[in-house]
């Protein structure tokens, strides 16, 4: 899998040697990382208004002094960040059942210590790809929303009926306007929404 450009891996583990080893491993696969000695440090970043602006994932130790990895994961879920910043738990054998439960709740995966270097980085790359897909989807929705905000109320009315598959004559009857006026509004809707057909418009609105 090709590395996603500008991706970042967050490493949250209270063991400095683990953080350093993971950072070295990721660098060997051309992945940048940022380490945190505790979940509390990561929470502090959240409280400063951290937003996910680039594809990323989080390597998160389950057991740490202070705020646990599980508590941090819960916080990410509450803030809607666990999907855009997928979490891979790093766990000892005793915590495997807990990690499995976290995966069922939305964590991306878990890796049991000691883990296979290649297997871990493969999952990191897959998590980053998932993050990139979510970011792209959200960006697409924002662009679509911006396009829709440029429509007049009449254009929205016409768009809704076009997307339902109604011909111009029935749209004109429904809105009590002329067919020619429908044609003008229809053309403007297609132009503003950057589509070329009613089917493409319907698919765009459905996907949104």
As separate numbers, helices (DSSP H) first and strands (DSSP E) second, the chain gives 9, 5
Kindly tell me if the per-residue pLDDT of 171 is higher than 90: yes
d(CA 196, CA 18): 54
d(CA 139, CA 66): 36
C-alpha closest to that of 159 among 127, 187, 120, 128: 187
60 and 77 Cβ atoms separated by less than 8 Å: no
115 and 136 Cβ atoms separated by less than 8 Å: no
Kindly tell me if the per-residue pLDDT of 3 is higher than 60: no
Task: Tell whether domain 8-143 is in CATH 3.40.50.10490.
Answer: no
Kindly tell me if the per-residue pLDDT of 1 is higher than 60: no
Per-domain boundaries in the chain: 8-143, 150-207
Per-residue pLDDT tens digits for 175-203: 999 999 999 999 999 999 999 999 999 88
Q: Could you tell me the pLDDT band of residue 4, with boundaries at 50, 70 and 90? A: low
pLDDT at 185: 95
- The pair of structure tokens assigned to 187 is 């053309």
56 and 87 Cβ atoms separated by less than 8 Å: no
C-alpha closest to that of 186 among 162, 207, 152, 205: 162
What's the angle, vertex CA 126, arms to CA 67 and CA 97, rounded to 5? 45
185 and 175 Cβ atoms separated by less than 8 Å: no
d(CA 8, CA 26): 10
Class of domain 150-207: mainly alpha
d(CA 207, CA 205): 6
pLDDT at 96: 81
Kindly tell me if the per-residue pLDDT of 208 is higher than 80: no
97-110: average pLDDT? 89
Q: How much is the pTM? A: 0.77
Do domains 8-143 and 150-207 share one topology? The answer is no
Kindly tell me if the per-residue pLDDT of 108 is higher than 60: yes
pLDDT at 2: 53
pLDDT at 112: 86
Kindly tell me if the per-residue pLDDT of 149 is higher than 60: yes
């Amino acid at each position: 899998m090709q590395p996603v450009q500008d991706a970042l891996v967050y490493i949250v583990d209270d063991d400095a040697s683990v953080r350093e080893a993971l950072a070295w491993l990721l660098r060997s696969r051309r992945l940048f990382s940022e380490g945190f000695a505790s979940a509390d440090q990561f929470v502090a970043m959240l409280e400063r208004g951290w937003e996910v602006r680039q594809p990323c994932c989080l390597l998160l130790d389950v057991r740490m002094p202070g705020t646990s990895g599980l508590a941090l994961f819960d916080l990410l879920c509450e803030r809607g960040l666990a999907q855009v910043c997928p979490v891979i738990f790093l766990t000892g054998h005793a915590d495997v059942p807990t990690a499995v439960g976290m995966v069922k709740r939305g964590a991306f995966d878990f890796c049991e210590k000691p883990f296979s270097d290649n297997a871990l980085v493969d999952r990191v790359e897959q998590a980053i790809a998932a993050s990139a897909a979510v970011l792209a989807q959200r960006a697409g929705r924002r662009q679509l929303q911006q396009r829709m905000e440029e429509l007049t109320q009449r254009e929205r009315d016409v768009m809704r009926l076009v997307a339902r598959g109604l011909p111009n004559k029935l749209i004109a009857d429904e809105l009590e306007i002329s067919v020619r006026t429908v044609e003008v509004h229809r053309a403007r809707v297609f132009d503003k929404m950057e589509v070329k057909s009613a089917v493409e418009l319907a698919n765009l609105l459905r996907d949104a």
